[in-house]
Structure 1
């Protein structure tokens, strides 16, 4: 077997195992269930939740949005160059400048944002209880508790958008042409995935997602990067890039959906908690900083 292929298969197995282990920790350990937390326990969970919010914010801006914008711009540039060569036109013509000035990548990401907005609006209009999974409580004791995550639907969207992105992360590993490059990228993705899947599992627990669905989400999510590596291996073997633009557009839509959930669900939920604003700022900033550092290698 080719050594490069062996390295990629090893990366596939490592990503699958690490993702499953890190994802099962908050899903299976009752200590992480916020409805059981009181006093110091609740404060610690709040800090962990703020850290997770920072992780999602960093993953959103530094990874998903950045990757989508870069890939879409690269694919559009390729097609402009191909069109220019076919029509024997200068690539710096006025028409090309106009194309380069228009933010197509931002438009695709915005389409993903509004797609989730539309779906949630339709679901909320037709069946309000489908989005707000917890009833309103007016007792004094309930008001002292931290605000509950209110959207099982948004938790599903979070899982879906992260799964899309995981496929593309795996794809990037699978198409590498050197062993060292594949290993370096895999290590960065491993760290990224371990933190993100832990945070995802924590959000699934907080949103009240049933245990069997949590387990299904985590198993499917764990399979996404390995599946991407498998697709990448196939693409590298057959040297086919005919679907690269479609992949870039899908990544942009996934980034837009993640943008929606990050800013309308995750951050508002954590910012409504009863902890000190400076404490929340510190842990959100810490989570974002880790994702920003990982972006140096990923």
Structure 2
């Protein structure tokens, strides 16, 4: 047990350090701030952003949604089997009918429903935020009123907030941070509950591989979304703590002999996947694909980012 615990603690420290470094590089280095870039510098940053968008797309489909689908269906099936077994103990039904009832219940796509709820939760929240921004702005009756030429719109800016309202870009950064943080907790928990050294090390290496890329992409989104430096540091610091926190929980559960997971955690993971689905497809990808760089070049970098996450999914 001692060597296994040492492996897990080493993984915990490595995750914390790697996430902080990879996230802080784009968030704190001036070179990555696209507002100050021109010419070739701006094109390079745009292609890096497209690569990051592909990373988020791969993380969304190959990791978060895939994990949520598996975990929710598995936990629901477990709950229904337990309920069916309890029902059969009364003598009212035989085993075959109980199993059939459980199978019939699982024919409905519950996991997809939970993920969709997460999607619409963010959709509704952002719609309310944008509505409040528009209502609070003194120029909401006339989109051109009180706006200097070239100034960003309240509804489309990822930078400073418009008059009288918070920046939608700040809200999107918050949602991105929350959904990624929840997923990170579940990843760390999965490593922490491993009972073998080889399994814990293999899973930790897979998490490390895509955690660094995700942290870099998150830092890039924060800086290019206009998040203030103080908030960038707070987001990245908390994000770096999520996987180690989940791993510490998993280590505690494995040492105490408790069971990890549960239906509530699976449902929460599904909601997080739905929120990330919204941010990926309605915020990050459209923003990167609307830049003036050559479309095929942008496609190539988005595909490259997705391919990297797809390869990592072989081990994760």
User: d(CA) in 1 for partners of 2:86 and 2:304?
Assistant: 50
User: d(CA) in 1 for partners of 2:97 and 2:169?
Assistant: 48
State the partner residue of 2:134: 128
> 1:63-142 residue pairs with structure 2 within 5 A?
63-88=63-88, 89-90=95-96, 93-128=99-134, 138-139=149-150
State the partner residue of 2:25: 25
State the partner residue of 1:164: 182
State the partner residue of 1:296: 314
User: d(CA) in 1 for partners of 2:147 and 2:100?
Assistant: 58
User: d(CA) in 2 for partners of 1:101 and 1:24?
Assistant: 45
Query: For 1:110-131, what per-residue CA distance to the aligned partner results, in whole angstroms no more than 9, with x for missing partners?
Result: 111111111112222223399x
Compute the displacement of 1:239 (Å).
Answer: 2.4
User: d(CA) in 1 for partners of 2:5 and 2:134?
Assistant: 50
TM-score (norm 2): 0.87
State the partner residue of 2:42: 42
Query: For 1:3-44, what per-residue CA distance to the aligned partner results, in whole angstroms no more than 9, with x for missing partners?
Result: 111110110000000000111101111000000110000000
| Runs of 4+ residues over 6 Å off in structure 1 | none
State the partner residue of 2:15: 15
**How many residues are aligned here?**
290
User: d(CA) in 1 for partners of 2:60 and 2:148?
Assistant: 32
Runs (5+) with no aligned partner, structure 2: 89-94, 137-145, 159-167
Q: Which of 186, 199, 217 is matched with 1:181 structurally?
A: 199
* RMSD of Structure 2 on Structure 1 (CA): 2.1
Matched, 1:152 2:170: yes
Compute the displacement of 1:79 (Å).
Answer: 1.3
State the partner residue of 1:251: 269
Query: For 1:226-280, what per-residue CA distance to the aligned partner results, in whole angstroms no more than 9, with x for missing partners?
Result: 0000000111122223761111111001000100101111000001001111001
Compute the displacement of 1:157 (Å).
Answer: 0.3
Q: Provide the secondary structure at the position in 2 that maps to 1:263.
A: helix
State the partner residue of 1:273: 291
User: d(CA) in 1 for partners of 2:132 and 2:271?
Assistant: 24
TM-score (norm 1): 0.92
User: d(CA) in 1 for partners of 2:214 and 2:135?
Assistant: 28
